[in-house]
Amino acid sequence: MMAQTRPGEAPAVPGSGSRFAIDVRDFLTRQPRQLPSRYLYDELGSALFEAICRLPWYPLTRAEMRLLESHARDILHTGFTTAIELGSGSGAKLSALIGAAGAGRGRLDVHLVDVSGAALAQARRALEIFENVRVTTHETTYEDGLEEARLDRSLPGRRLALFLGSNLGNFDAPGRDAFLGLVRRALDAGDGFLLGVDLVKPEPELLLAYDDPLGVTAAFNLNLVARINRELLGRLDLDGFGHRAVWNRELSRVEMHLRSVREQRIVIGAAGLDFTMAEGETIWTESSYKYRAPEIASMLERSGFRIRSQWLDGVGRFALTLAEAVE
């Protein structure tokens, strides 16, 4: 269809009305300049993240897999009939859990919530191979997905919400507490919550995990610049940016930044942006907060949960915590 332009109205720039365009305009003009980390995950970004999970320098995924496999029976043989995974990605974590629980598990109604349709399709295929598992996908936000899953309840019994992969690490403290409150309100007393979170470890290990020698994490970060060029009529020079990972000890977070290697003009047509970045100026693209195990327990308790079990992986320094919603 041809775009209609009324007299006196400028023709719309393709892509300019999208949420991405609006957020790029808003966040890139803040001080410090930043971009929301969720935009790292377009199709290419998601594939690069899957590659990161296989890197020897990024221990999180393997550590969590070991914990899920070792404790699958303790988790799934306690009578949950519904599992709701927020940010399920490729479905690898939940399928490892279900696979390792083996026989003796009852019927399971699985709800997958993710903003990526491609990831949901992949997760559905990974989970549908299990017997007595019904899969429902929700291509939406955590909040709406929790609500849809609550309304579409097919089996009586306790529900288990899952938030794995240290995705909690992307939230700052207020965002984290708001998220935990949201999960708690979507559950009934007695329902479960399984949370996988990465732990504080020595700085050199943290920096290697977020600035790997193969440059995959750098590509993951720089893909955001490439995505702006692809989707928002950006004219940015990929060579004009370098990947930086910083451990912010005071705030207990690893930050990813895109650092301008020289003074350069930034033009993004669909975001209506045209400004100059100084040499060394950065765009903050992600925070990954790291926790200590007791902090995980206390923040869950403050949000209306009681700790049932907490399992730690000593090699990868990762925590898997099973909590129960209290009255």
Closer by beta carbon to ligand AVJ, 101 or else 180: 180
Shortest Å, Cβ 53 to ligand AVJ? 8
| 240 belongs to the binding site for ligand AVJ (CB under 6 A) | no
The one segment of 137-145, 161-169, 275-283, 297-305 that binds ligand AVJ by CB under 6 A:
161-169
Give the whole-angstrom CA distance, residue 129 versus residue 112: 15
Shortest Å, Cβ 66 to ligand AVJ? 17
The one segment of 19-27, 162-170, 266-274, 304-312 that binds ligand AVJ by CB under 6 A:
162-170
| 316 belongs to the binding site for ligand AVJ (CB under 6 A) | no
Give the whole-angstrom CA distance, residue 306 versus residue 296: 11
Strand bridging mode 158-163 / 133-139: unpaired
CA angle in degrees (0–180, nearest 5) for 71-77-79:
135
The half-sphere exposure of 277 on its side-chain side, counting CA atoms within 13 A, is 25
| 35 belongs to the binding site for ligand AVJ (CB under 6 A) | no
Among 39, 142, 179, 210, binds ligand AVJ (CB under 6 A): 210
The one segment of 134-142, 167-175, 225-233, 314-322 that binds ligand AVJ by CB under 6 A:
167-175
| 285 belongs to the binding site for ligand AVJ (CB under 6 A) | no
DSSP 291: B
Q: At what angle do helices 117-128 and 43-53 cross, to 10 degrees?
A: 50
User: In the structure encoding, which two tokens stand for residue 296, read together?
Assistant: 């995980």
Give the whole-angstrom CA distance, residue 176 versus residue 172: 6
| 169 belongs to the binding site for ligand AVJ (CB under 6 A) | yes
Give the whole-angstrom CA distance, residue 298 versus residue 17: 42
| 286 belongs to the binding site for ligand AVJ (CB under 6 A) | yes
Residue 143: φ, ψ to 5° = -60, -50
Q: At which residue do the structure tokens 């720089």 appear?
A: 222
Closer by beta carbon to ligand AVJ, 136 or else 167: 167
Write out the binding residues for ligand AVJ, residues 40-69 only, by CB under 6 A.
52, 60
**Chain residue whose CB lies nearest ligand AVJ:** 288
Among 45, 59, 165, 240, binds ligand AVJ (CB under 6 A): 165
Among 88, 95, 137, 170, binds ligand AVJ (CB under 6 A): 170
Closer by beta carbon to ligand AVJ, 87 or else 192: 87
Give the whole-angstrom CA distance, residue 231 versus residue 292: 39
| 288 belongs to the binding site for ligand AVJ (CB under 6 A) | yes
| 217 belongs to the binding site for ligand AVJ (CB under 6 A) | yes
| 166 belongs to the binding site for ligand AVJ (CB under 6 A) | yes
N- to C-terminal Cα distance for the chain? 54
Shortest Å, Cβ 231 to ligand AVJ? 20
Q: Do 193 and 187 touch, CB atoms closer than 8 A?
A: yes
Distances (CA, A) of 129 to 68, 95, 98, 313: 19, 9, 11, 28
Chain contacts with ligand AVJ (rule: CB under 6 A): 52, 60, 165-167, 169-170, 210, 217, 220, 286, 288
